[in-house]
Amino acid sequence: MSEALAAGLAHPSASVRQLVLEGLSRRPLAARLPIEELARADVEAPVRTAALRALRGQPEALATVQRAVDDPDPAVSAAARVTLVSLASPHTFADGSALLPLLDESDPGLIAEALEALGPGAGAVIVDRLRELLLTTRPLALRRQALRTAARLRLPLLLGPVLTLLDDPSLAPEAAASLSSWESAPHVLEQLLSHPDGAVRERTARLLAHGVQGGRRPGLDRVRLLALLDRELADVYRLYGILAGLAHDDGTPDWQIEPSFAFLAGEVERRILQARTRVLHLLAVVGDARSMRGVAFGLRRTSVAVDAKVAELLEMVLDASLARKVVPLFDRLSLRERTETARRLEVFDEQSLLDPLQALLALDDPHLTGCAAVTYGERFADRFATVYE
C-alpha cells in the first residue's frame, strides 16, 4: 500500500477517510486490512459505511462484514448486508439479480443502499422493480434514489417510467434533469413518439421540444417529423369524427351535442386538446425559432382568442402543405366545418359519423370506453355485453 493511501486512511478528518474509501470502492482493493479495521472500529458511521462498500468482492473480509450487519447504525448495517450479497453471489451481484431480495425489503435505507450498489452490469432483470419504485407511493427520498439509479443505468425500458414522472410535481424537476443523461440514445426517445399511449407521446414530444429550444439537441429530421405529425393529426380528426357522430347519435341528428351526451363529448374534447398539445410540441421540434414562438404562446393557455392567435401565427410560419393540416385545428370552426376539413384532407373516417360508439371502442381507451358505457347505458350493454360487464 502506498504511503499516500495509508496516510489517507489514517487521516484525522472523517471526511478525508471517507473520500479515500469511496475512491477505493471503485478500484481494485489495495489495502484490505486497514479498510477492515476502519469498518470495525472507526467512530464515524459514514466512514464505516464507506469501508464496507470498499470491501465488496473481497471474500477474505467475510467475518468483518458479518459482524457489521449488527452495527447499531442502520446505514452501516445496510451497507454490510449489501456487501454480504456481493461476497455470496459475485456473478449475480454484477447483473443486479442477487440484489432483488433486498430491493423487495420494507426498509427504505436498505433499498437505497441496494440501489446505490447497482452497477453498469445491471440489466433487464431489475427493470420491473425499479419501475415499481419510481411510480410507487414510497417515501420521496427513496423515489429520488430510484430516479438517480435509472438515470445512471440508462436502461431503455426505464425511459417510459422516467417520462411519466414529468407529470409528478414532486419529482418533475429531477426527472427532467435526469433525462439529459439519455442523450446518448436519442433513438429511444424517437421510438417513444410512436408509443400507443398518447400520454407517453406527449411527454416525449415535450422533452424533445425543450431540448431543441434549449439548444441541447438538433431538430428532428423533417421526414420523420412529418410522419409523426400525420399520426397525431389523424388522431385529432378521428376524434372530431367521433364527436360529430355523437352529435348525430344523441337522439337529435344534427351538429349539436345534447345535454345527455355532454359528459362523453367533453371527455372526447379533452382527448382532442391533448392531441393538439402533442402537435404543438412536435412543431417545436422543427427547431425554427419563429415556429417555436407561436408554439410557446399556444401552450401557455387555451381559449378561443388564444386559438385564433395561434392559428394566425402558425399560418404565417408554416409552409403551405403543413399549414393546411395544422391551422384548422386552431381556427374557430363549427363541428360541421371541421368534418368538412377532415374530408378535404382525406383523413375523415365516415364510420365514425355513422357509428361513433364502435369508433370509440376501437380507440382502445379504457377511460373513454367507461364514459361511453355510462352515457349509452342499455344501448352499450346490448351491443357490447362482454365489455359492459
Q: Which of 26, 56, 88 is the last residue of a domain?
A: 88
Looking at residue 109, its pLDDT comes to 92
Write out pLDDT tens, residues 271-293: 998 888 888 888 877 655 556 66
Looking at residue 357, its pLDDT comes to 92
Among 18-32, 165-179, 211-225, the range scoring the smallest mean pLDDT is 18-32
Q: Which amino acid is at 89?
A: S
Q: Would you say residue 74 lies in a domain? A: yes
Looking at residue 185, its pLDDT comes to 54
Asked if the model's pLDDT at residue 350 lies above 60, the reply is yes
Write out pLDDT tens, residues 228-266: 888 888 889 999 999 999 999 888 888 899 899 999 999
Most confident by average pLDDT, 76-80, 87-91, 161-165: 76-80
**Residue 84 belongs to what H/E stretch?**
helix 74-88
Write out pLDDT tens, residues 121-142: 888 888 889 999 998 878 889 9
Q: Provide the whole-model pTM.
A: 0.61
Spatial contact of 113 and 78, defined as CB atoms under 8 Å apart: yes
Write out pLDDT tens, residues 194-203: 777 777 788 7
Q: Would you say residue 206 lies in a domain? A: no
Q: Which of 55, 88, 121 is the last residue of a domain?
A: 88
Q: Would you say residue 202 lies in a domain? A: no
Give 295's pLDDT tier (boundaries 50, 70, 90): low
Q: Which of 45, 64, 88 is the last residue of a domain?
A: 88
User: What's the Cα-to-Cα distance from 189 to each of 135, 156, 180, 208, 264, rounded to whole Å?
Assistant: 20, 9, 11, 8, 33
Looking at residue 310, its pLDDT comes to 79
**How much is the average pLDDT of 341-348?**
88
Give 267's pLDDT tier (boundaries 50, 70, 90): very high
Spatial contact of 145 and 112, defined as CB atoms under 8 Å apart: yes
The per-residue DSSP string of 17-41 comes to HHHHHHHHTTS--S-HHHHHHHHHH
Q: Would you say residue 128 lies in a domain? A: no
- CA torsion 223→224→230→236, rounded to 10°? -150
Cβ neighbours of residue 212 under 8 Å, at least 6 residues apart? 218, 219, 220, 284, 285, 286, 287, 292
Q: Would you say residue 103 lies in a domain? A: no
Asked if the model's pLDDT at residue 307 lies above 70, the reply is yes
**How much is the average pLDDT of 12-16?**
71
Cell reading at 369: 370506453
Give 316's pLDDT tier (boundaries 50, 70, 90): confident
> Would you give the distance in Å from CA 70 to the centre of its chain?
39
Residue 305: domain span:
222-388
Give 35's pLDDT tier (boundaries 50, 70, 90): confident
Cβ neighbours of residue 100 under 8 Å, at least 6 residues apart? 125, 126, 129
The per-residue DSSP string of 40-82 comes to HH-S-HHHHHHHHHHTTT-GGGHHHHHHHTT-SSHHHHHHHHH
Write out pLDDT tens, residues 138-171: 888 999 999 999 988 888 788 888 888 877 878 8
Q: Determine if residue 356 is left, alpha or beta; phi over 0 gives left, psi from -120 to 50 gives alpha, anything else beta.
A: alpha
For cell 412543431, name the residue. 283
Q: Which of 114, 116, 98, 159 lies closest to 134, judged by CA?
A: 159
More confident residue, 20 or 149: 149
Q: Would you say residue 187 lies in a domain? A: no
Query: What does the alpha-carbon distance between residue 201 and residue 118 come to, in Å, rounded to a whole number?
Result: 29
Instruction: State the total domains in the chain.
Output: 2
For cell 419529482, name the residue. 171
Q: Would you say residue 81 lies in a domain? A: yes
Asked if the model's pLDDT at residue 2 lies above 60, the reply is no
Q: Does 226 lie in the same domain as 84?
A: no
More confident residue, 86 or 168: 86
Q: Would you say residue 245 lies in a domain? A: yes
Asked if the model's pLDDT at residue 115 lies above 90, the reply is yes
